[in-house]
């Protein structure tokens, strides 16, 4: 392939294409985090004069074939360093690394072996890239004002189509989300595994032209979740429909190969096995999520399914996946209503043709019983892991506001007492443990020396002493804590993608007023000290609706606990 580039790859047309893309990207570059931007520019000062640092990554000024050939002349077999990593390398008289006693060896590489064409058929398939089909040409901004929020434009063959024109950043970009909700993906742990493998196959098939799309300022993701599969495409809106079309064709009829299936299945097995090596507090916290979120499955069930599924089973699952579907779409950015409807019809024609329309409800969090539940899990790690999850009564904005504010006030004192003063562990934090809008407070500790009972005793003593601190909270201090939470909650969006993602989350929640942040902020403003104390006493002191998960200890065994917890009803809305 390097020889192909040497002979035919150095082309002024390719240079002009890259130059054009660089100029477009520089012209329409979106703002980033100011701190990260300053750090990035400071690094460029090491390589560029100060007057060029702002445009350094986009400096494509001169076609220089002689310099390209000079680089190619260095890409030779006798100038190659190869690394081979293997579980059992079978090395003779190996060296050992200082820290982990890992075996390693170094030996010369014979360039002649690399020049031998062992795979002539594969080599013959290598092609130089064609002209990029995704390069944007129309960079004009669509007419009309930025809409305050998405509106439901239409329902096409059962698919709700949401639209929001947005030109506030003066960039000809857009984001389109397509949610394919289906009951097939969450029927069992086996369904979860098959969905993961199917999405892997789709993404592997998209790799052929993903790089060309990224060069042209387009990006995409196809990802599984609790309700099905989502396709997201973003970037310059001019060729966005071209990329969406190619993705939808793969989603509708993915090309499955047994070779890719085996690779992906082994990677999934490896990842699930490695979860047993996660930090103890990661495993205790994951147990809480697995046991309380509807449609989530424990790691051992997913691992068992991953080892059992077959390629033929994946083929059948792929054919049946979209037989029942609850579709929804959102288009946001530099788009017109007409172009959005055209995209919606394209989605319907390619993906939804023969699908039966069904409603797929959103997952909910299970409501804990009116007392504390203690669970012990087995973890192969010398440290003790401890997670105390204290759940709210309902998912109302008022209840969520109290728990958010309580977490803000208690987090620093909890760390100072448990980590700094008592030195109970090196991982210590208090956090708002909100899952699917269900409010909760979490206390997390990982200790190399303390037992679960000792950690819990320290947490209880802290909680009892903190009641006095909370009772003495002044109105001024409470207002400052409220403002800290609200400022973070209402932080200004800097990029179109941030707004698109927020809108999409609102659609997933069924919040068609698109004002969850503001409603939560308003609720936080209204929280008084008596309400905060009441929530603290019930959740933290009395531990009503609490789940304590520890490594070791004398609690319920994990499988028995899962059996009980997964039978619980969902947390009510109010």
CA count, 13 A, side-chain hemisphere, 503? 28
Nearest to 429 by CA among 416, 280, 132, 439: 416
d(CA 393, CA 440): 9
Dihedral sign for Cα 377, 381, 386, 389, please: negative
pTM over 0.85: yes
Helix ranges, 389-474 (H): 397-415, 452-471
Instruction: Report CA-CA distances (Å) from 208 to 124, 129, 203, 273.
Output: 16, 10, 10, 30
pLDDT tens digits, the chain, 574 residues: what are they?
888 898 888 999 999 999 999 999 999 988 888 899 999 999 999 999 999 999 988 989 899 999 999 999 999 888 888 888 888 778 888 999 988 888 899 888 887 776 665 667 777 788 888 899 999 999 999 999 999 999 999 999 899 999 999 999 999 999 999 999 999 998 999 999 999 999 999 999 999 889 999 999 999 999 999 999 999 999 999 999 999 999 999 999 999 999 999 999 999 999 999 999 999 999 999 999 999 999 999 999 999 999 999 999 999 999 999 999 999 999 999 999 999 999 999 999 999 988 999 999 999 999 999 999 999 999 999 999 999 999 999 999 999 999 999 999 999 999 999 999 999 999 999 999 999 999 999 999 999 999 999 999 999 999 999 999 999 999 999 999 999 999 999 999 999 999 999 999 999 999 999 999 999 999 999 999 999 999 999 999 999 999 999 998 788 899 999 999 999 999 999 8
d(CA 121, CA 104): 34
Q: What are phi and psi of 335, to 5 degrees?
A: -135, 155
d(CA 73, CA 6): 9
Distance of CA 106 to the CA centre of its chain: 39
Q: Which residue has the tokens 């394209």?
A: 346
Q: Which domains does the chain have, with CATH numbers?
A: 1-80 (no CATH), 151-357 (3.30.830.10), 372-565 (3.30.830.10)
d(CA 111, CA 78): 5
Q: Which residue has the tokens 């993705």?
A: 247
Q: What are phi and psi of 514, to 5 degrees?
A: 55, 40
Nearest to 377 by CA among 281, 306, 307: 281
Structure token digits, residue 141: 């901004």
End-to-end CA distance of the chain: give it in Å, rounded. Answer: 64
Structure token digits, residue 507: 């659609």
Per DSSP, what are the bridge partners of residue 326?
181
Structure token digits, residue 88: 């059992």
Instruction: Report CA-CA distances (Å) from 330 to 90, 233, 240, 245, 293.
Output: 54, 11, 14, 16, 26
Structure confidence at residue 84 (pLDDT): 86
């Amino acid at each position: 392939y390097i020889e192909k580039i040497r002979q035919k790859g150095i082309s002024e047309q390719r240079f002009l294409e890259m130059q054009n893309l660089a100029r477009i990207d520089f012209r329409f570059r979106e703002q980033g985090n100011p701190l990260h931007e300053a750090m990035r520019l400071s690094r460029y000062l090491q390589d560029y004069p100060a007057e060029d640092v702002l445009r350094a990554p986009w400096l494509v000024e001169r076609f220089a074939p002689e310099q390209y050939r000079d680089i190619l002349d260095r890409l030779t077999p006798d100038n190659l360093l190869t690394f081979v990593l293997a579980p059992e390398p079978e090395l003779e008289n190996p060296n050992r690394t200082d820290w982990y006693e890992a075996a390693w060896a170094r030996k010369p590489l014979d360039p002649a072996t690399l020049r031998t064409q062992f795979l002539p058929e594969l080599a013959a398939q290598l092609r130089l890239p064609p002209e990029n089909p995704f390069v944007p040409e129309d960079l004009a901004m669509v007419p009309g004002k930025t809409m305050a929020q998405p509106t439901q434009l239409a329902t096409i063959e059962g698919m709700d189509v949401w639209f929001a024109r947005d030109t506030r950043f003066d960039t000809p970009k857009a984001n389109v989300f397509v949610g394919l909700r289906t009951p097939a993906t969450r029927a069992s742990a086996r369904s979860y595994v098959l969905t993961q493998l199917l999405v892997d196959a789709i993404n592997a098939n998209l790799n052929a032209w993903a790089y060309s799309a990224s060069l042209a300022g387009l990006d995409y993701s196809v990802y599984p979740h609790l309700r099905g599969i989502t396709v997201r495409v973003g970037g310059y809106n001019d060729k966005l429909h071209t990329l969406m079309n190619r993705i939808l064709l793969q989603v509708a009829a993915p090309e499955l190969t047994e070779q890719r299936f085996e690779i992906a299945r082994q990677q999934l097995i490896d990842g699930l096995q490695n979860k047993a090596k996660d930090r103890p507090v990661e495993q205790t916290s994951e147990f809480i999520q697995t046991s309380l979120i509807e449609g989530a499955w424990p790691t051992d069930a997913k691992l068992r399914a991953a080892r059992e599924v077959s390629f033929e089973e994946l083929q059948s699952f792929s054919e049946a996946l979209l037989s029942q579907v609850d579709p929804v779409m959102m288009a946001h950015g530099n788009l017109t209503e007409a172009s959005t409807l055209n995209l919606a019809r394209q989605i319907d024609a390619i993906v939804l043709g023969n699908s039966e329309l069904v409603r797929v409800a959103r997952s909910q969090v299970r409501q804990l019983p009116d007392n504390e539940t203690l669970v012990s899990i087995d973890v192969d790690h010398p440290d003790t892991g401890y997670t105390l999850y204290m759940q709210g009564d309902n998912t109302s904005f008022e209840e969520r506001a109290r728990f958010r504010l309580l977490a803000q006030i208690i987090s620093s004192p909890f760390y100072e007492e448990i980590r700094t003063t008592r030195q109970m562990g090196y991982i210590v934090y208090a956090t708002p443990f909100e899952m699917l809008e269900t409010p909760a407070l979490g206390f997390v500790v990982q200790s190399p020396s303390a037992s679960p009972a000792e950690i819990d005793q320290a947490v209880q003593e802290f909680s009892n002493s903190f009641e006095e601190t909370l009772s003495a909270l002044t109105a001024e201090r409470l207002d400052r804590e409220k403002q800290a939470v609200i400022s973070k909650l209402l932080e200004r969006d800097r990029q179109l993608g941030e707004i698109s993602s927020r809108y999409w989350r609102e659609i997933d929640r069924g919040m068609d007023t698109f004002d969850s942040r503001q409603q939560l902020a308003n609720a936080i403003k209204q929280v008084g000290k008596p309400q905060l104390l009441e929530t603290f006493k019930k959740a933290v002191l009395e531990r009503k609706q609490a789940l304590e998960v520890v490594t070791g200890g004398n609690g319920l065994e994990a499988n028995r606990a899962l059996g009980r917890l997964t039978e619980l009803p969902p947390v009510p809305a109010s």
